[in-house]
Amino acid sequence: MTRRQRRLLLLGAGLGVLGLAAALVLSALKDSIVFFNSPSDIVEKRVTPGTRIRLGGLVAPGSLERGSELAVRFQVTDGNRAISVAYRGILPDLFREGQGVIAEGALDTAGVFKADNVLAKHDEKYMPREVADALKKQGYWKDDAQKRDAARPPRQVP
Amino acid sequence: MPLIDLANPSRFLALVGKMLPWLVAATLVALAAGLWQALFVAPDDYQQGATVKIMFVHVPSAWLAMAIWALMSIAALGTLAWRHPLADVAAKAAAPLGAGFTFLCLLTGSLWGRPMWGTYWVWDARLTSVLVMFLMYLGLIALWRTVEDPSRAGRAAAILTLVGAINLPIIKFSVDWWNTLHQPASVVRVGGPAIHPSILVPLLTMALALTLLFATLHLAAMRNEILRRRVRTMQMLAAQGASA
């Protein structure tokens, strides 16, 4: 074995051990690395009221109610469970029914999630409006919530 | 030309001198084409409107930030296992450029996040792991400057570079392994790109342009580093001569 081969072997072994250590640390910290919890997670983990947590999922179609002075109520769903969210404030531009959102706040004793911040999540698809419209017209659009969007007047893009 | 011929710094300098004007020209042409496509040809996105244009800087910067660390990791192996004389020069010249692209990626991402997500910054796995890479770039640059002797500094930096390389798969797969605010990959993904060609082509042109920009700046920086080391050697010889 030449010195170069020995050095390479040593480097490979060192990196392998470090990689394994990193993988173990990351899998141990899995619960704190996730940025948000789905409604099912929150129900399963029995999150106590008042604990600050992030709730993520889709805004359930038809659930959005706007009150006075920027107050909104909507349901966040992951397909299995839904949690009601109450929020007062300015919503991000992408917020609408069927959109992925993340709400920061805590459950109250009635099981309603009082959010003090709402973030919008967007997907990995990018396309011009005409292409999106054409896909919707031909029925190739997979997302049901967005299919309903197509029936509405198009959103104004500044 | 085999890599071993480039071990001779004089031959390398001659090659760089011949290549640089062409690289500068190619960079300018690609950058002009990329910016023109990005600003005037690419359509607005169906849900993000004109903010999608931030992607044309953000995504290539992110790719380059990671590719440069990968390049430095290969150079680190060259330094540690093969003792290639130019490997450390290549890594040292690449680090500030990598830090610059990482900063650009974080800055444009933050400006894009505010209108779309509703926040400049969150501590999700993707954003945090890229911030860790940025801090490691700064740490590496500091390490090279802390140790006086270039070959000892190079070996210490090479080890830190390889340790930091563990972060690369974490950055890439963070959006798949954990829930994040950042959306999953759009271009390098199973099932092909999820970007319409009218937006994808300008993106790839900008990626080519910024890669050429990196190649140009990197070769120029390597040339400067080689000359700087020659000056250092000459000064030390002169000082020995004066004291003898």
Query: Considering only CB atoms, which chain A residues are within 8 Å of B198?
Result: 127-128, 131
Q: Do A120 and B44 count as a contact with CB atoms less than 8 A apart?
A: no
Q: Do B196 and A131 count as a contact with CB atoms less than 8 A apart?
A: yes
Strands of A65-112 (E only): list them: 65-66, 71-77, 82-88, 100-107
Q: Where are the domains of chain B?
A: 10-180+196-237
Q: Quote the pLDDT of residue B227.
A: 93
Q: Do B186 and A124 count as a contact with CB atoms less than 8 A apart?
A: yes
Q: For chain B, give the secondary structure using H, E and C.
A: CCHHHHHCHHHHHHHHHHHHHHHHHHHHHHHHHHHHHHHHHCCCECCCEHHHHHHHHHHHHHHHHHHHHHHHHHHHHHHHHHCCHHHHHHHHHHHHHHHHHHHHHHHHHHHHHHHHCCCCCCCCHHHHHHHHHHHHHHHHHHHHHHCCCHHHHHHHHHHHHHHHHCHHHHHHHHHHHCCCCCCCCCCCCCCCCCECHHHHHHHHHHHHHHHHHHHHHHHHHHHHHHHHHHHHHHHHHHHHHHHC
What CATH number has the domain spanning A39-142? Answer: 2.40.50.140
Closest Cα in chain A, distance from residue B49 (Å): 6
pLDDT at A138 over 60: yes
Cβ(B128)–Cβ(B170) below 8 Å = no
A interface toward B at CB cutoff 8 Å? 4, 7-8, 11, 14-15, 18-19, 22, 26, 30, 33-38, 56, 91-95, 102, 117-133, 155, 157-158
**Confidence grade of residue A132 (pLDDT, cut at 50, 70, 90):** confident
**Confidence grade of residue B222 (pLDDT, cut at 50, 70, 90):** very high
Top residue of B37, B46, B122 to mutate, by most chain A CBs within 10 Å, is B46
Cβ(B91)–Cβ(B79) below 8 Å = yes
From the list B43, B49, B117, the residue facing A119 with the nearest CB is B117
Any A CB within 8 A of B114 CB: no
CA-CA distance, B97 to B61, in Å (whole number)?
A: 10
From the list B46, B117, B180, the residue facing A127 with the nearest CB is B46
Q: Which residue has the higher pLDDT, B97 or A123?
A: B97
What does the pLDDT average to over B212-221?
97
pLDDT at B1 over 80: no
From the list A94, A102, A128, the residue facing B116 with the nearest CB is A94
Query: Considering only CB atoms, which chain B residues are within 8 Å of A9?
Result: none
**Confidence grade of residue A151 (pLDDT, cut at 50, 70, 90):** very low
Any A CB within 8 A of B195 CB: yes
B145-185 per-position pLDDT tens digit: 999 888 899 999 999 999 999 999 999 999 988 889 998 89
Q: Quote the pLDDT of residue B191.
A: 82
Per-chain mean pLDDT for chain B:
92
Q: Which residue has the higher pLDDT, A150 or A131?
A: A131
Distance between terminal CA atoms of chain A?
Answer: 67
Q: Which of residues 134-173 of B touch A (CB under 8 A)?
A: 162-163, 165-166, 170
Instruction: Give the DSSP H/E element, type plus range, for residue A54.
Output: strand A53-59
**Confidence grade of residue B2 (pLDDT, cut at 50, 70, 90):** low
Cβ(B229)–Cβ(B61) below 8 Å = no
Q: Quote the pLDDT of residue A146.
A: 46
What does the pLDDT average to over A8-31?
90
Complex-level ipTM: 0.79
Closest Cα in chain B, distance from residue A112 (Å): 22
CA-CA distance, B193 to B195, in Å (whole number)?
A: 5
Closest Cα in chain B, distance from residue A115 (Å): 14
Q: Quote the pLDDT of residue B9.
A: 83
pLDDT at A141 over 80: no
Q: Where are the domains of chain A?
A: 1-27, 39-142
Q: Do A122 and B183 count as a contact with CB atoms less than 8 A apart?
A: yes
Q: Do B122 and A121 count as a contact with CB atoms less than 8 A apart?
A: no
CA-CA distance, A29 to A44, in Å (whole number)?
A: 19
Query: Considering only CB atoms, which chain B residues are within 8 Å of A123?
Result: 183-184, 194
CA-CA distance, B70 to B74, in Å (whole number)?
A: 6
Q: Which residues contact B185 (CB under 8 A, 6 or more apart)?
A: A124, B172, B175, B176
Q: Which residue of A has its CA nearest to B200?
A: A126
Query: Considering only CB atoms, which chain A residues are within 8 Å of B194?
Result: 123-126
Any A CB within 8 A of B48 CB: yes
> Which letter, b or e, does each residue of B104-129 get, where b requires 16 or more Cβ atoms within 10 Å of its Cβ?
bbbebbeebbebbbbbeebebbbbbb
Closest Cα in chain A, distance from residue B46 (Å): 4
B80-118 per-position pLDDT tens digit: 988 888 999 999 999 999 999 999 999 999 999 998 998
